[in-house]
Structures are given as structure tokens and as C-alpha cells.
Structure 1
Amino acid sequence: MPDAPFSFDIQPQLATPIYRQVVEQVQRLVAGGQLRPGDELPSVRTVAERHAINPMTVSKAYSLLEAEGLLARRRGVGMVVAAGVQPAGDDRLALLAPALQALARQARQLGITPDDTLAGLAQVFDSLEQDAP
């Protein structure tokens, strides 16, 4: 498990379905090495209760990750990161490509320069670091 208690950042207002948000977050955390083989994920019930979502949504996400080989079901423990899963290394940026493309498209539509966009992104990074425990 990561050092801090693990929790998903689920945002129901996004166009991305909740199960995809869970899948993509686990993929990024594994790719970034923040979740390692053997690390436990919160139970379906815990995630569903914490975020007031249907347990079947969480179960669907976990099942997709299990089919992908990222998670394994461990009897009596729940879902864990599968053995042998390695951080993605240089492929991590590929996981950000859709979000970066959307950001670039939106910045262009708003008439914001690449330099100003990067400066805004740096500010967001800084605010996230300040919010971190």
C-alpha cells in the first residue's frame, strides 16, 4: 500500500464513467510505481460507501483490472496488485496523452499560449504539493 491511506479521486461530474476513473487511476498508480505487487486495494464496499456509488461499479472496474492482469483476487484479503507487475517507466507519459491533448485543445480554444498553459499547469502542481499531507 502507498504510505498514506489509499483513496480514489472519483468525480461524478466528469464525462468519464466512474468505473473508467477507477480503472485509469489504478493503471496510473501502478505505472508510476505508487502501487506495487502485493499492495491491497480498498474493498469494493469501502470504495462504494466512501464515494456513495454503486458497489457494482467498483466491482466492474476491479474485474476489468483483473482481466488486464494488473490486479489479482486474494482470498480473504480482496484485490491486490498482481505479482510481476512493473512500473511503466517511459510509458507513463503515454497514459497522460489523452488528458494532455484535451488540455492543449481547450487552451487553444481559449486563446491561451503554450507558455501560459505550462505556467498554469505548474501552478496546479504547486497547489497539489501544498495540499499533500
Structure 2
Amino acid sequence: MDLDGSRPIWLQLVDDFRLRIVTGAWPIGARIPSVRELAMQSGVNPNTVQRALTELDRTGLTGAERTAGRFVTADTAVVDAVRRELATGATDTFIAALTAVGMDLTQATALLQERWIDCTSVPPADKGETS
């Protein structure tokens, strides 16, 4: 993980850990690594990791079980809400960048569809298609 000096490290860890959860790197219900392990992996002080994990606990993404460790929530609605929040932020950034270069919705939609196919090799869902 590359840390950015302009933001508190613990907030960067929160972002990284949230991403690990929504992408399934830390699956729903799974035990997550210990504070010590995460501190070693990230190259930061364990207190910094603990602060980030405490924030995840506060938001309901993780929870500590007294003797068993810390686990990703089993509540898929919580994970889905965070996934949507992250996607909304990325979408807002995308829209701002495209409007700044003069693209309209039709052009932006066409570009997104083209890039989606190129980057994922998966065609976007056709909204007009019926099953």
C-alpha cells in the first residue's frame, strides 16, 4: 500500500480495508488478520491499524469477538451500501472529469460502454432486453 502524506494514515487504512471487504479480498463473515499482522503488512504502527479497525467496527463493516478475533460483517446490506458509496464517489469523479472536457451524457454513456467492454471483456447489461 502506498501511503499519501496529505491524509492521515489511519483514514487511508480505512479506505484500503473497506475496499478489501467490498471486493471480497476479505469475504463476508471471514476472520480478518490481526492488528499486528496488518501493521506489519502496511508498515505502520499497530495503534494506527487499531484506530482504522475501530472505525470499521463503528460503521458495522467489522466486529470483534472477544476471544475469536475480528470478523467482516455477515450483513450483506452493510457491505452493499459501502460498495454503492464507493461506486458513487468514483462515478461523481468520472462525471466531473467528463463534463470538464465538454462531454454530454450521450457521449459519456457511449465512452463508458466502450471502455467497459475494453477493460472488462464483459458487455454491459442491455436495459431494453427482457428475459
TM-score tier, shorter chain, comes to: 0.5 to 0.7
Counterpart among 66, 78, 84 of residue 75 in structure 1: 66
Q: Separation in 1 of the partners of 2:72 and 2:79?
A: 17
Cα distance per residue 1:86-124 (max 9 Å; x no partner): 245864434311122112212333456523355445544
Secondary structure of the residue that 1:73 maps to in structure 2?
A: strand
CA contact (8 A) 1:31 1:87 kept: no
Whole-Å Cα distance in 1 between the matches of residues 6 and 96 of structure 2? Answer: 17
User: Matches of 1:52 and 1:16 in 2, distance apart?
Assistant: 16
Q: Give the match for residue 56 of structure 1.
A: 47
Identify the structure with bigger relative contact order (alpha carbons < 8 Å, sequence gap 6+).
Answer: 1
Change (3 A) 1:47 1:118: farther
Q: Distance in 1 between matches of 2:9 and 2:117?
A: 27
Match of 1:35 among 21, 24, 27: 27
1:86 pairs, out of 55, 65, 76, with 76
TM-score for the superposition, normalised by structure 1: 0.60
Percent of pairs with identical residues:
23
Name the CA shift for 1:102/1:44 in 2 (closer, same or farther; >3 Å): same
1:105 counterpart = 2:96? yes
TM-score normalized by the length of structure 2 = 0.60
Higher-Rg member (1/2): 2
Q: Please give the alpha-carbon distance, in whole angstroms, between the structure 2 residues aligned to 1:122 and 1:23.
A: 31
Letter in 2 for 1:96: A
The alpha carbon displacement at 1:62 in A equals 0.6
- The CA distance in 2 between the partners of 1:46 and 1:60, in whole Å, is 15
Q: Could you tell me how far 1:67 is from its partner in structure 2? A: 2.0
How far apart in 2 are the matches of 1:75 and 1:29? 23
SS of 1:12's partner is coil
Q: Which runs of 5+ in 2 are unaligned?
A: 122-131
Deviation track 1:57-100 (CA, whole Å, cap 9, x = no partner) reads 21111111112232222334421124x52245864434311122
Kindly tell me the number of residue pairs found equivalent between the two proteins: 115
Structure 1 unmatched ranges of 5 or more = 1-9, 127-133
Give the drift of 1:51: 2.0
Assess, with a 3 A threshold, how the Cα gap between structure 1 residues 124 and 50 changes in structure 2: closer, same or farther. farther
* RMSD between aligned residues: 3.4
